[in-house]
Amino acid sequence: MLKCPNCQSKDIGKIGINQYYCWNCFIELSLTKGIINTHQVEEDGTLSSLDDLFDEELRKFSS
Ligand SMILES: [Zn+2]
């Protein structure tokens, strides 16, 4: 089960292939090679990476 690295919420919606959205803190998550990448959607619709905020250990996804 995917868990948000930011808020630990499991309220994650799927928005595309390997793309997810956290309904709790409103960040976008994508899954690449078992690592969760985190993005914030800016007001103009662009994505900015939040990966620097989280340890890779936190972003590992194991199913
Ligand atoms: Zn979250």
pLDDT tens-digit series, residues 5-62: 999 999 999 999 999 999 999 999 999 999 999 999 899 989 899 999 988 888 888 7
| Residue 5 included in any domain | yes
What's the pLDDT score for residue 10?
Answer: 96
| Residue 15 included in any domain | yes
Domain count, the chain: 1
What's the pLDDT score for residue 24?
Answer: 96
Task: Name the residue range of residue 21's domain.
Answer: 1-25
C-alpha 1 – ligand 1 centre gap (Å): 14
What's the pLDDT score for residue 58?
Answer: 85
**Strands 35-41 and 12-16, bridge-based pairing:** unpaired
| Residue 6 included in any domain | yes
C-alpha 3 – ligand 1 centre gap (Å): 8
Q: Kindly list the strands in the beta sheet with 47-49, ordered across the sheet, starting from the edge strand earlier in the chain.
A: 12-16, 19-22, 27-32, 35-41, 47-49
AA letter at 44: D
Please state the pTM of the whole predicted model: 0.80
C-alpha 60 – ligand 1 centre gap (Å): 15
| Residue 30 included in any domain | no
Task: Give SS3 for 41.
Answer: strand
What's the pLDDT score for residue 41?
Answer: 87
